[in-house]
Structures are given as C-alpha cells and as structure tokens.
C-alpha cells in the first residue's frame, strides 16, 4: 500500500463548509491528514465533519469568520492548543460578485470581497505563520482563479481581488524562502461551487455561457497533488494555461482568446464546453 501523502499532518482548510473547501477537506482526510474545518457556520462544518468521520477520526471543527481578526486568531489558537502544530494551510474562503464595473453596488461589493477573499487570506496566514516559523516547516496554498491572471468583462471586481491574491502570494513566497515554509497558489477555471449560485444566467460573464464548470473534486485533487510536489503555481485544468500564455504575450491576444471562448469551434477543439453550463449543472 502506497504511503498517504498527508499522513499525520494537521491541515487547516478555510471555507470548508462547501464547494472546493469541502472537497479538499475530504481529500486531505483520505490522504491521512487531521483536517481542521474553518468557516462561519458551525452547523455546516459539523455536516462535513460527519462525512469525514465515516472514514477518519482526524477532523476538528473551528468556526470563524475570516473577516474577523479576533475570530481567526481565536480559532487558530484553539487548533494549536489541541494539536501543537499546523503543517498545511489552504486559504480557500471567499465570495464573489458579478456585474459591470460601473454598477452602483460595485465599490461596496469589491470592499466586501476584499475583506473576505483577500484580507481573509492575509488574516489566517498571519495567524498561522508564527507556528510554522517555530516548526521551520509548513505549506501554504492560496486560492486565486484563472481570472486572477486574465480578467473577464462583468467579473472585474472578483478578478481584481484574485489579482491581489496573486501579488500577495508572490511576495510571501519570496519572503519565506529559506524558512522551510513553501507557498503556492492555485488557479482553477470555472468550478461548480455555490460561489455563483445566485447569479442569473443572463448576468454571467459572456465566456461562462460556453464553459462547462469543472467539479470541485477535480480542483481539490489538483491542490493536493500540487502541494505534495511543492509547486508554486497550480493551474486546473490544462486549458487556462493557453489563456495565461496569450495574456502574457499581449493583452490584445488575451482578449482574443476570451472572445474565442464564446465560440462553438474553439470550445469543441479545446474541450472547454461539454454541453452543460454552470446554471444547468447547479440544478
């Protein structure tokens, strides 16, 4: 029997009550980790803990709102008091808004996303880092998105926050070089999670109307594989790498690829559309 990749490691997953966070928590537990579930709702976390409890005793519920430094610090202190260490942190908690950049709610929406998605990542990381520094070991994985490398129209607020997380992660990785703490970022494509469940199909960014969302479990497996190999950047699936390359060469070329994502021929050749959309598969 092959050795489990995260055997006896303490792994903290934020946003663990649903979507990618839930899938990652289950995956870490199956790989031998003691999985710490962190999110706002204790009730939802207890349900995930029950799922993990069916095959592992290594699960711990730590409710906290990542927009509250007090709650985050208290939750991480409880984890350290119980286990004495944190080996892996997966900063996954977040929210999203869809709409044009001149919408009346745009500034307020971006401020809220910034507090949860970006500053939430910073708060949890700062709470965990002292323990990892004492251990001289640890791994941090921050959630971004494909739109953290190339923005889409009607997704400007979320794209901006994801770009900010990329900048923070890049700086953090360099600052922690030589400490034994590895830092990575993951860029998933459109994923079937509750993040956009309330968005009307007609309000979706145009490319999303010809994209089939990937399962949360696929993102979770990519996260575990990337962490186990200490990859600084994880992109899932492979197709977004073409968009990132195009954007790196020229913004106009990046814009062209975004336009092509909306066409039948491109989606057929590169297998980005499989006959279902985000809204259809969420039902």
Residues involved in catalysis: 158
* Bond preceding residue 40 cis, omega within 30 of 0: no
Q: What is d(CA 158, CA 160) in angstroms, rounded to the nearest whole number?
A: 5
* Half-sphere exposure at residue 233, Cβ-oriented, CA atoms within 13 angstroms: 14
Residue whose C-alpha is closest to residue 68's, from 123, 12, 143, 130: 123
Q: What is d(CA 14, CA 94) in angstroms, rounded to the nearest whole number?
A: 9
Residue 150 token pair: 């190339």
Residue whose C-alpha is closest to residue 232's, from 184, 172, 174: 184
Residue whose C-alpha is closest to residue 91's, from 124, 42, 65: 124
3-state secondary structure of 105: coil
């Amino acid at each position: 029997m092959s050795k489990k990749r995260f055997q006896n490691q303490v792994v903290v997953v934020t946003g663990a009550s649903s979507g990618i966070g839930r899938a990652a928590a289950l995956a870490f537990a199956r790989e031998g980790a003691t999985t710490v579930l962190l999110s706002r709702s204790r009730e939802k976390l207890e349900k995930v803990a029950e799922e993990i409890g069916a095959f592992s005793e290594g699960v711990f519920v730590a409710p906290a709102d990542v927009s509250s430094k007090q709650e985050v610090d208290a939750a991480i202190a409880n984890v350290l008091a119980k286990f004495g260490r944190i080996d892996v942190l997966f900063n996954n908690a977040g929210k999203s808004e869809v709409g044009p950049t001149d919408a009346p709610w745009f500034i307020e929406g971006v401020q809220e996303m910034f507090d949860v998605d970006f500053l939430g990542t910073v708060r949890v990381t700062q709470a965990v880092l002292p323990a990892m520094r004492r251990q001289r070991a640890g791994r941090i994985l921050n959630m971004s998105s494909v739109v953290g490398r190339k923005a889409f129209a009607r997704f400007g607020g979320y794209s901006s926050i994801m770009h900010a997380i990329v900048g923070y992660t890049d700086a953090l990785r360099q600052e922690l070089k030589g400490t034994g703490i590895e830092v990575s970022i993951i860029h998933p494509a459109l994923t079937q999670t509750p993040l956009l469940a309330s968005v009307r199909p007609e309000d979706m960014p145009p490319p999303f109307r010809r994209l089939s969302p990937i399962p949360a479990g696929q993102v979770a497996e990519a996260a575990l594989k990337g962490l186990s190999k200490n990859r600084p950047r994880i992109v899932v699936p492979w197709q977004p790498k073409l968009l990132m390359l195009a954007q790196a060469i020229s913004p106009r070329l990046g814009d062209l690829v975004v336009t092509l994502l909306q066409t039948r021929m491109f989606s057929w050749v590169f297998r980005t559309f499989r006959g279902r959309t985000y809204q259809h598969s969420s039902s």
